[in-house]
Structure 1
Amino acid sequence: MPMTVVTVAARLAGFAGAAALLAGCSMGPMFGGGAPAADAGLANTNASPAQMAQAQTNALPAIATQCPPIKVRPGGEAIFYYGNGKVGDPTKLNYQAVIDEVTRNCVVSNGLITVNMGAAGHAVLGPAGNQASVTLPLRFAVERDGQAVYSEKFSLPVAFAGAGAQEFTKVVNGVAIPYLGGDEITIWVGFDTRG
């Protein structure tokens, strides 16, 4: 049956209304990348109760279908430990460790993004290495619009148990990040050798 001009106009109006509703639900640049924050923002931190309360008050509907990206912080992808201050001399290398993989998953609800995040890699003894075990300083952080809302450094023990190389894994569960809408959020992981 042929459509009348009125029917076509009504359908177009319906599509336009649906498009307007979807545009109103846009998440903005939440899932884009971001430049690393200054080192000062990397101290251990969590979202404050005030930030949590504000996020819950101003919460958007839970419509996100993706997690924020997880990235290895530039310069934090590997760690090299030399004995007796012989930095750069490969014959004096005690051990090195490298992050091979990172992953995350999220649940978005009531103005909060709850993140589970993890990193895996391997540690290898060098020519001067005779350690039975080492402790790796691994930091996870979450930044919203360039500001740290979560940052925690973990001391990750790795036992060589007679082998020259060992794999390591670290998982952090249940980190709640307030989401106010239109935020640019990035999850970072990397070795942090600062005190």
Structure 2
Amino acid sequence: MHHAPIATLARRSLVFAGTGLLTALLAGCSMGGMFGGGAPAADANLANTSPNPAAMAQAQTNALPAIATECPPIRVRPGSEAMFYYGNGRTGDPRALQYQGVIDKSTRNCIVSNGLITVQMGVEGRVLLGPTGSQSSVTVPVRFAVERDGQAIFSEKYSIPVAISPPAQSAGFVKVVQNVAIPYLGGEDIKIWVGFDTGR
């Protein structure tokens, strides 16, 4: 695999292919709390999701080349794979569902230099209107977090606007975060998490 120089990497920008595949990474940093609530009830937790091998291989081919010797995995945090918004306080009633958000894909890229892993990470998802939904605009809360040996060293919540143009009943979104620096000595257990954060 050909590795571009780091200077070249810094000039690359977000490309969102027509296939809907998340292919590169841009935007945002800082610290915050860990994940809040995801699904509206405990029995609404969904299975952990991740891109299939073919999608990940394509993402890695088209994205910034991964030149790190250690690149932490990115996973959707269990319980935060989906979000649901109901009308009139009828939480859990499918007939009252106005819209839901789902996460389709996630990816990350790493560069190791001078005792740091610099991570760029991204997520792709959709908002779908429910039986009572008529929104033309929805804001979805997505949190990225990085844990090292079980401790949060980065956590940030992003509010992502999603426009839904009638007669469409759904619309996609992409969020990418770049230049998250993780101190690394070797041997640490580092994980990257992403998911909806509907906590206040």
Unpaired runs of 5+ in structure 1?
1-39, 44-62
Unpaired runs of 5+ in structure 2?
1-31, 36-66
1:66: Cα distance to partner? 3.8
Tell me what 2:116 maps to: 112
Alpha-carbon distance in structure 2 between the residues aligned to 1:117 and 1:41: 18
Alpha-carbon distance in structure 1 between the residues aligned to 2:199 and 2:92: 19
Is residue 2:83 matched to residue 1:79? yes
Divergent runs of 4+, >4 A: none
Alpha-carbon distance in structure 1 between the residues aligned to 2:113 and 2:183: 10
Name the TM-score, length of structure 1 as normaliser. Answer: 0.67
Tell me what 1:42 maps to: 34
Identity of aligned residues (%): 66
SS in 2 for 1:91: helix
Alpha-carbon distance in structure 1 between the residues aligned to 2:109 and 2:68: 12
1:1-195 equivalences under 5 Å are 42=34, 64-162=68-166, 163-195=168-200
Q: CA RMSD in A?
A: 1.6
Q: How has the CA–CA distance of structure 1 residues 42 and 153 changed in structure 2, closer, same or farther, with 3 Å as cutoff? A: same
SS in 2 for 1:130: coil
1:41: Cα distance to partner? 5.7
Name the TM-score, length of structure 2 as normaliser. Answer: 0.66
Alpha-carbon distance in structure 2 between the residues aligned to 1:132 and 1:148: 35
1:84: Cα distance to partner? 1.1
Does the CA contact (< 8 Å) of 1:81 and 1:94 recur in 2? yes
SS in 2 for 1:85: coil
- Which protein has the larger Cα radius of gyration, Structure 1 or Structure 2? 1
SS in 1 for 2:88: helix
Partner AA of 1:168 in structure 2: F
